[in-house]
Structure 1
C-alpha cells in the first residue's frame, strides 16, 4: 500500500514534460464545491472556458472539451472524420506519432507512415526522431496520390518523446502546393500554451491537445479544435462514434452545457489557468518558455552531451532531450537522480529507451526551479560516472543572468 506520509521533506521536483507542476492557485480552484452541471452557474463557467480556449488555440471556430486523456482526443479526431479503410498519411517524428499511427490501424484505417530515412552517424539514433516534419516529403507523397485517396495528413506539433517542434505552417503550404484536399490534423498535446500555435492561420482542420502540459492542469480533460472543413467531414464519415461525436457536443456548448456529465472541478481549474495565461498574454507566455528552454540547453551543451533535437531551428520550448554517452543506461541515471534528489525526469520512449532522458521546462516553474533541476541532473550524472565537459549549472546561471526575464527588469526599475 502506498504510504503518502513517507515522502521526504521539501517539495518533489516534477520536471517531466507533463504532467507539469500545477500552480497552487489552480489547485485551490479545483477545491471549490461541485455545482449542478445543468444549472445557470455552470452555463456561465462553460461559456467562459470555451471562449478562453478559442483564444489559446487562436481560432474563431468550435473547441470541443472531453473528460478524457489526449489519447481520447486522438480517437475523436479520427472517428469524426474518417471511414473504415480510409488512407491517412502520418509522419514519424517520435513515440507519440507512432502511437497515433497504431491507433489508426486499430480503428480500421490504412495509415501510411513516412519520415526521414537513415540513422544519425554521431548518436546512432533515427534521423526522423531527431528532426521535425520535413514538409517536402509530405508534398511529394501527396503529388503522387493522383487519385486523391489520402483523406488526412496527421503530424505532431511538439513531439514529447524527442523535444522537437515541427513547422505546421510549412505542412499546410505543402498540402496546398500539392493541390490535395486531405484534412490536416495536428497533435499539440504538449505544445499548447507553451509553444506558439495558430489553428486558423496555419489552416489546421483538427487540433488535438490535453490539459496536463502547458495549461498547467492535472490530467483528465482533452480537446479537439475544429475547422468548418472538419465539421463538414462528419456528414460522410462512417467510423462508429457516440461519446466522441462532435455534433451534439457543439450544439449543447452553445448554451455552455455538455450532453454528458463534464469534469466540473477540472473546468474550474481550466478557468483559472485561462485567467493566468491570458492575463499574462500569450506572446509573453511563449517568450518565457523559449527563455527557459535556452537556459536549459546552455546547461546541456556545457556538459558536452548531445541534445536529442539535432536541428536548432526546431528546438522545443517545452522540453529538452539529453542523450547520454554510448554504453550509459539513461534510465539507470534517471532512477539514481530520482532516488537521491527527489527529482523526476522523463524517460526515453520507444526507440530512445535507455539512450536519453528528458527535462521538462513548463508549467509552474521559474529560473530557480530549472537551476535546481540542472543541479540534480549534474550531481546524479557525476555519481553515475558520466563524463561531463563542464558545469551545466554554471552555464545556465550565466545565461539567466545575461538574459533576465522582462518581469525581473521591470521590478529592478
Structure 2
C-alpha cells in the first residue's frame, strides 16, 4: 500500500525540478547554428546571466556540468604551479581545489568547519602571512550543498582588501545563483562560476564562468589555457566558437525559457520566495529536533542557506527508513548526506522551481515517515511551517 501514484517530488539539491514550460521549449527542431535565431538566443542568455550576477563582466557558456566550469575558471587565469587558497566550508570548495591540483596548480586549504561559514578574520590573517604574494587566487562557494552553509562573500572581499592582497576572488554560485542575492561587481568578485541545474531550473549540462576585468587581464599570461576552455578562443568572430564547436541547441532553448521565467517573476520576488520557503523548512526541522534525534548541521541560524537544509540524524538506520518511506510510499525523493556527512544527514532542497504546496508536501512526507517508523521527533513540524508561511505571506 502506498500513496505515491502521481507526480514525483524531487527534493534533492540538484538537479532540481524543471518547469513544464522549459521542457516544452526544448521540444522543437534544431536550427542553423551559425546565424539567425540561435545567435540571438545566445546573446539573450548571456545578457540574462549578467543581470542575475549583477555584473558587467564577460560571460562564457560551457557544455559541461559545474565541475567543467571549475576547470574552465582555473585554467583561464592561472599558470602551472600557481598557488590557490581554498576556503573550506564543506565539500565543494575543496572539490574545486582538487580539480585544480590535477592540472598542475598548487592547492592550499584554509581549514574550516563543516558546521559554520568561512571566518573572514582567519582569511585575512593567512593573507597577511603571504608577504611574497604566492597565493594567486582564492576559491570559495557562496552556498555549499553538502553542509547547507552560506558564506558571506562581501565580508571575505573586505578581508582580502584589509590584508592588501592581490589574489583573485573566485566564487562558485552553482547552488546560489537565482536563489539569493549575488552582486559580482559590487562585492569585488573576479570570477563567478555557475551552472544551470539548481536555481536556474534547467536540466544539467550547461555551466558558466563570468570574468571581471582583473581576471581577463590575468588570462593574458595564464599558461594552463587549453583549446576547449580558452576564453580567448570563445570570443572569436564565429558563433560556433562561443561553444568550441557545435552549440547545444535544445539545451539553449530550455535555458532561454528558464531565464525568461526568472525575469518574469523578478529577482527580488524569487529571493523572497526562497527565503520564505527556507524559513518554513527550518521551522519544521526545529520542531522535529525537539525529539532529540535531529539537529541542524549549521549551528548559526544566520549562516543557513536558503536553497537547501542539511539535517543531522543520530541513527543511520532511521535515516535509511526515512528515505525509503518517502520514496516508495509517498513519491518524494529526499537528498542524502554526502562526503563527510554520508550516512549522517538528510538534505531538504528548497530551490528553483518550487512553491509552498511542493515544500509542504515534502515536509509532510518526511513527517509521515517519522510517525510511521516511530522515529523520535517533536510533533507539529508541518504545522509550524504552515503557521510561519501564513504569518509571513500577506493577503
After superposition, where does 1:63-82 map in structure 2 within 5 Å? 63-82=59-78
1:22 is displaced (CA, Å) by 0.7
**Residues 1:203 and 2:171 are matched in the alignment:** no
- Unaligned regions of 5+ residues in structure 1, if any? 1-6, 117-127
**1:27-66 map, 5 Å:** 27-66=23-62
Aligned CA distance change for structure 1 residues 77 and 161 (closer, same or farther; 3 Å): same
* Superposition deviation, residue 391 in structure 1: 1.8
**Aligned residues of 1:37 and 1:257 also touching (Cα < 8 A):** no
Residues 257-303 of structure 1: CA distance to partner in whole angstroms, max 9, x if unpaired? 54411211111111111111112211111011000000111000011
Shift of the 15–327 alpha-carbon distance from structure 1 to 2, 3 Å rule, reads: closer
Contact kept in structure 2, 1:331 and 1:347, CA below 8 Å: no
Q: Does 1:321 align with 2:310?
A: yes
TM-score normalised per structure 1: 0.90
| 3-state DSSP of counterpart to 1:214 | coil
1:150 aligned to 121, 125, 135, which one? Answer: 135
Asked whether the 8 Å contact 2:123–2:159 carries over to 1, the reply is: yes
How far, CA to CA, are the matches of 1:391 and 1:172 in structure 2? 41
Q: In structure 2, how many angstroms separate the alpha carbons of the residues matched to 1:211 and 1:171?
A: 25
Partner of 2:296: 307
Whole-angstrom distance in 1 between the partners of 2:40 and 2:361: 41
RMSD (Å) for aligned C-alpha atoms? 1.8
Could you give the per-residue CA deviations for residues 128-162 of structure 1, whole angstroms, max 9, x where no partner exists?
11111111111110000010100000001010111
Match of 2:111 among 93, 109, 115: 115
| Partner of residue 231 from structure 1, selected from 208, 213, 216 | 216
Task: For 1:348-363, list aligned pairs within 5 A.
Answer: 348-363=337-352
| TM-score, normalised relative to structure 2 | 0.94
Q: Which residue of 2 aligns with 1:169?
A: 154
Alpha-carbon distance, 1:173 to partner: 0.8
Q: Which residue of 2 aligns with 1:124?
A: none
- How far apart, in 2, do the equivalents of 1:177 and 1:254 lie? 42
Task: Report the 3-state secondary structure (helix = DSSP H, G, I; strand = E; otherwise coil) of the residue aligned with 1:271.
Answer: helix
Change in Cα spacing, 1:139 to 1:253, as seen in structure 2 (3 Å) is farther
Residue 330 (structure 2) pairs with residue 334 (structure 1): no
Q: CA separation in 2, counterparts of 1:365 and 1:384?
A: 28
Offset, 1:337: 2.2
User: Take 1:81 and 1:353, find their aligned partners in 2: how far apart are those partners?
Assistant: 34
C-alpha distance in structure 1 between counterparts of 2:238 and 2:388, whole Å: 46
Equivalent position of 1:97 in the other structure = 93
Q: Is the 8 A contact 2:63 2:243 kept in 1?
A: no
Of residues 255, 263, 272, the one that matches 1:278 is: 263
Judge conservation of contact 2:334–2:348 (CA < 8 Å) in 1.
Answer: yes
C-alpha contact (below 8 Å) 2:234/2:241 kept by paired residues: no
Is residue 2:8 matched to residue 1:19?
no
Deviations 1:142-190 (A, max 9, x none): 0000101000000010101111111101111111111111001111101
Residue 403, structure 1, aligned to residue 388, structure 2:
no
Paired residue secondary structure (2:387): helix
Work out the CA distance in 2 between the residues paired with 1:240 and 1:297. Answer: 44
Q: Does 1:288 align with 2:273?
A: yes
Matched residue SS, 2:361: helix
Indicate the larger mover: 320-329 or 335-344: 320-329
